[in-house]
Amino acid sequence: MTTITASTRFDEPITPEVLDKAIERGRNRASVGVRATAVLYMPRLRSLLFSFLDHSAVALPVSNYPELEALDENELHALTLGLGGSALCLDARNMHVSIAGLLSASRPLMEMAASLVAVRNGRKRSSTKSAAARENGRKGGRPKLALAV
């Protein structure tokens, strides 16, 4: 896993323009990416349960992530959400782990996500797609794939 050092801009003067830009950046970030609303360590399953705004949840086994497996029970219970719900944090170890990164490291979750995206994209309607379907219909249906020999 890649470690990134955070930078701070504590010496930048706060002006109305700087504040407006920061608020706009915050609005843009809030609508993008994975944002958890809660995290709970479940000792019986030795998993972290992340919940989201729509009350959906996902459990990730601690054993799948070396940075989490190194933590003891008390540290796992002390994990919190940070960076607007996009990171899993443990202040005692100065640890901040991307929740999107944890989710993307799970092969079954990524395969499921790819399948769901394909289903959603297949349902999309557009004038281009409709025109192509009509044209293929006039030609007797979808053209057959040419197999390379």
Q: Which residues of 18-53 are buried (b: 16+ CB within 10 A; e: fewer)?
A: eeeeeeeeeeeeeeeebbbeebebeeeeebbebeee
Strand spans (E) along 17-144: 36-42, 47-52, 57-61, 80-82, 87-90, 95-98
Candidate CATH numbers 3.30.750.200, 3.40.50.720, 3.30.2020.40, 1.10.340.30; the one for domain 17-120: 3.30.2020.40
Structure tokens of 54? 């729509």
103-142 pLDDT, tens per residue?
Answer: 888 888 888 878 888 887 777 777 887 788 888 888 887 7
Domain map (residue ranges) of the chain: 17-120
d(CA 52, CA 65): 21
pTM over 0.85: no
pLDDT in tens, 40-86: 999 999 999 999 888 889 999 999 999 899 999 999 999 999 888 88
- Residue-wise pLDDT tens digits, 7-50: 666 677 888 888 888 888 777 765 556 788 999 999 999 999 99
